[in-house]
Amino acid sequence: MRQERAARIKDVARIAGVSTATVSRTLSNPDIVSEETRRSVLAAVKATRYSANVAARNLRRQQAGGVLALAPNLANPFFSEILAGMSEALAERRLNLIVADTQFGGSSQLVQYADRSRADGLLILDSRLDPALFAGAQCPPIVQVCEEIEGLQSPRVVADNAGGAAAAVAHLVELGHTRIARLAGPPDNSLTRWRDAGFRRGMDAAGLSGRGDWHLTGDFSMESGRTAAARLLALPDRPSAIVCDNDEMACGLMSALIRSGIDIPGDIAVAGFDDIELSRHLTPTLTTVHQPRRRIGREAVRQLLLAIDGADVAERTVIPCTLVPRQSTLGREALSDQAAS
Amino acid sequence: MRQERAARIKDVARIAGVSTATVSRTLSNPDIVSEETRRSVLAAVKATRYSANVAARNLRRQQAGGVLALAPNLANPFFSEILAGMSEALAERRLNLIVADTQFGGSSQLVQYADRSRADGLLILDSRLDPALFAGAQCPPIVQVCEEIEGLQSPRVVADNAGGAAAAVAHLVELGHTRIARLAGPPDNSLTRWRDAGFRRGMDAAGLSGRGDWHLTGDFSMESGRTAAARLLALPDRPSAIVCDNDEMACGLMSALIRSGIDIPGDIAVAGFDDIELSRHLTPTLTTVHQPRRRIGREAVRQLLLAIDGADVAERTVIPCTLVPRQSTLGREALSDQAAS
DNA sequence: CTGAAAGCGCTAACAA
DNA sequence: TTGTTAGCGCTTTCAG
């Protein structure tokens, strides 16, 4: 039972009684060969279970056969659904998605990838990367996704972060809140900055002004939401509502507030951002801003493929977000036993 | 400003005044060239920003340069942390991790990958795949991770699912519970079967017997935990504790129970499995079985690399799990304000 | 519509 | 220790 060698294009050609060029043509551009030839080649392909050697094809075509996604944290469900959308969209073009976690290996590893022979394109999801990494002449086309790196010129596909944050504020205002706090992400993060702008826009529209001591900061982790709760509770003059820059912080915050005997939304209403699956299953369920993550991933790939093909690409594609009102602002009665919406 | 072509090995050789073979040797095996040569080659590499063409190298070496992971759902945080561990371990060997979501493209796509020219190895995390996909002679080495496909012979790296489930039961028994129910995963899933075995082992050890009507089934989703709660509440004779086959179901279950006015753990104690990050942040925090996911990912890669190198590989590597007692079984007082443990 | 042949860039066997 | 050289398997001109 020795291991049989994989068939090469030569083998297929011999069996089909044609040249290797014809086999290649049949496979990549079936319309330009005669029907008879096509039939015999395809039969030979099937008989030999032939599948083209990827390295040889890529070498010849001077391409990499895959796209690299740089994400700050693979273990984060927010990114993973975007990656799933990317993977899906790339498969249609028979391109691989190679995923690198920027937490490891450091930039020394990453710089390797900013090279056409390794990746036909780059999808960058981490705004903390140094733009200099991608400055080389041989860097493949780039699309930035969700986050934005200052000083790296490339098309961007982002959610409507400002609009989402403004909608969250408007929702609270409509419920009668005027004392609205904010739990922001890291100040140097582009998401934070856009959501900041939206928050202020929403406040302005309602004639409200933000208060400095009601501006808390976290790092997008549940843990930082937990610690923010302590700071919130220590305030002499508490807000009646708080808008968080993501669901995970909102989750950590709510959980700590509840443990301290605070009623949500009775004492403090809470809104998040992202609409991760969890948000529907918290108690109370979390009002949040839904980002269509799969669609963002697909759209980013679409733009990248355009760029790879040398077509014109929108400098900035903004994907709309939608507010999803749930119990953490409406109260339990409003939606009591309703299924996830 | 025209785009400069990437340097090839020839360019480096010319600048360093040596042959291409020497450049290649300097880069892949520096010890066998003289120090002087090495210096001039490295200088030329730096000057040209040379980086070897991956496709050419792979073609010549008859390898793929990457390993493919087949996961059922990229968007699931449980898998994503394992993938992160894999990515980390592979980077040390300069191998890519290519991730494919088995939800999309169907097996027609996947079968393409069971081929040495596309992947140097396969990491299979989805037990629902057809073993026939990997039966070809040209299929690269495989390691199954976490889940197991019946009829696919290959090394496996799995958590101690039975031991974990037994520990959860033992913990409840120690707290005085004798009426213990189970919320199981899909019956055809290997995780479910191992956890089933562990559950029974734990019950037997305590002299307890499981009851048929206390055996609920879900599909590992939060949603299925939610619906299981309704069935649990409809029972004429309720258990005092329930062991769930994963944290997400436990989360959906708890959240629905609480909404129905059930006190956890006063009325019903709940234990999960996996220890996803969320579990520490639920209210009450969830007692669960911790799986060292990153380590599982790293270990799977270690075994795969051994197999690729033709070394002997353990048929089955079992990674220990540890019980993490929290409020959902102990009560809120016990651990009230303690940080995540 | 098809075949011959060049060559993508690299590594490794062999020779010196 | 280094250079020469063949060739990995494929695609794509260029001829016919």
Give A4 to chain B, closest Cα distance, Å.
Answer: 6
Q: Which residue is nearest to nucleotide D5 (CA to C1')?
A: B21
pLDDT at residue A250 greater than cutoff 60:
yes
**Do the chains contact at A4 and B137, CB–CB below 8 Å?**
yes
A58 contacts in B (CB within 8 Å)? 54-55
Q: Going from the N-terminus, what domains does chain A have, and what CATH number goes with each?
A: 9-52 (1.10.260.40), 65-154+293-320 (3.40.50.2300), 161-287+325-340 (3.40.50.2300)
Q: Please tell me which residue of chain A has the smallest CA distance to B68.
A: A98
Give B48 to chain A, closest Cα distance, Å.
Answer: 11
State pLDDT tens for residues A275-290. 988 898 888 899 999 9
From residue A183, give the alpha-carbon distance in Å to each of A202, A247, A270, B16.
15, 11, 10, 57
Q: What is the pLDDT of residue A278?
A: 84
Confidence of residue A268 (pLDDT cuts 50, 70, 90): very high
- Residue A33 Cβ < 7 Å to strand C: yes
Q: Please tell me which residue of chain A has the smallest CA distance to B4.
A: A137
Q: Which nucleotides of D are covered by protein (CB under 7 A)?
A: 1-5, 7-13
For chain B, the average pLDDT equals 90
Q: Could you list the beta-strand ranges (E) of A141-201.
A: 142-145, 156-159, 180-184
- Residue A19 Cβ < 7 Å to strand C: yes
Q: Report, as an integer, the average pLDDT of B10-36.
A: 94
Q: Please tell me which residue of chain A has the smallest CA distance to B80.
A: A75
Q: Structure pTM?
A: 0.84
**Do the chains contact at A138 and B83, CB–CB below 8 Å?**
no
B322 phi/psi in degrees, rounded to 5? -130, 140
∠ CA(A329), CA(A330), CA(A336), 5° rounding?
125
Q: What is the pLDDT of residue A309?
A: 87
Residues by CB within 7 Å of nucleic chain D, which ones? A 8-10, 20-21, 23-25, 27-28, 50, 52-53, 56-57, 59-61; B 17-22, 25, 32-34, 36-37, 56, 59-60, 62
Q: Report, as an integer, the average pLDDT of A285-305.
A: 96
Task: Kindly give, in sequence order, each residue whose CB lies less than 8 Å from that of residue B322, ignoring residues fewer than 6 positions away.
Answer: B167, B289, B290
In the A/B pair of chains, how many CB contacts fall below 8 A? 174
Confidence of residue B334 (pLDDT cuts 50, 70, 90): low
Cα A54 to Cα B213: distance, rounded to the nearest angstrom: 54
**Do the chains contact at A84 and B65, CB–CB below 8 Å?**
no
State pLDDT tens for residues A41-98. 999 999 999 999 999 999 999 999 889 999 887 777 788 889 888 988 998 888 888 8
Determine the residue type at B161: N
Amino acid A9 CA to nucleotide D16 C1' distance, rounded Å = 23
The span from the first CA to the last CA of chain A, in angstroms, equals 57
- Residue A2 Cβ < 7 Å to strand C: no
Confidence of residue A2 (pLDDT cuts 50, 70, 90): very low
Cα A80 to Cα A146: distance, rounded to the nearest angstrom: 13
Q: What percent of chain B has pLDDT over 70?
A: 94
State pLDDT tens for residues A92-125. 888 888 888 787 655 556 667 788 888 999 999 9
Structure tokens at A243: 């808008």
Confidence of residue B109 (pLDDT cuts 50, 70, 90): low
Give B136 to chain A, closest Cα distance, Å.
Answer: 9
Cα B166 to Cα B49: distance, rounded to the nearest angstrom: 57
Cα B256 to Cα B239: distance, rounded to the nearest angstrom: 16
Structure tokens at B53: 């063409």
Q: Report, as an integer, the average pLDDT of A193-208.
A: 96
Q: What is the pLDDT of residue B287?
A: 98
